[in-house]
Amino acid sequence: MKQGSVGPRLYRLGKKSNLDGVIMRLGFVKNTGVSAFLVAMLVVAPQVWAETFTAKVVGVSDGDTVKVLTEQSCDSGKDCRSGKIQYRVRLAEIDTPEKKQPYGSKAKQALSDLVFGRMIKVEQIDKDRYGRLVANLYVDGKWVNAEMVRSGSAWVYRQYAKTPELFKLEAEAKADKRGLWALPESERTPPWEWRRKH
């Protein structure tokens, strides 16, 4: 892997690749007119890949986004800070109130209390359209994303959620009126709905 790269190398399926040859040799495609590309997508797409690394949290932007400084060295570039690579990381599967929403600053503080200035494990699962890594974060063996939901500082982000445990934690936080769930219902607009209106 190149210095500074984060994700694993993915197949470029638009061109003839080794994967095409493997699929053909295994007999998945035999003069049926079905493209090896389509079969390859069925094989590759469901797989979840993750790149894991440790980093220090050097900034908290809001309740679901942090800046981390890795141990990886760099010479220059937009992600290079003090000779180390810095990334913006969006917590996977959760969404917190925006800064201008009720509970927005408290959600940011809750995340800061958990991770700011600490070494964490970052398990990258994707990259979003803003260039942020989308990841699960762990500190002292605790899954930070789940802790944010458990404390009532985050919603489960329904559009992207894949972990049933998070829905259970959210239901418990709501039943116990923890965090944002203690707010009047009129002040509990899910952030994805709030963003559509503002």
Residue positions annotated with a catalytic role:
90, 98, 132
Q: Which residues 6+ apart lie within 8 Å of 136 measured at CB?
A: 91, 92, 93, 122, 123, 125, 143, 144, 145
Can you give the C-alpha Rg of the chain in angstroms? 20
Q: How far apart are CA 28 and CA 145, in angstroms?
A: 39
What are the phi and psi torsion angles at 120 (to 5°)? Answer: -130, 165
Q: How far is residue 87 from each of residues 5, 53, 84, 123, 167, measured CA to CA in Å?
A: 11, 12, 10, 13, 28
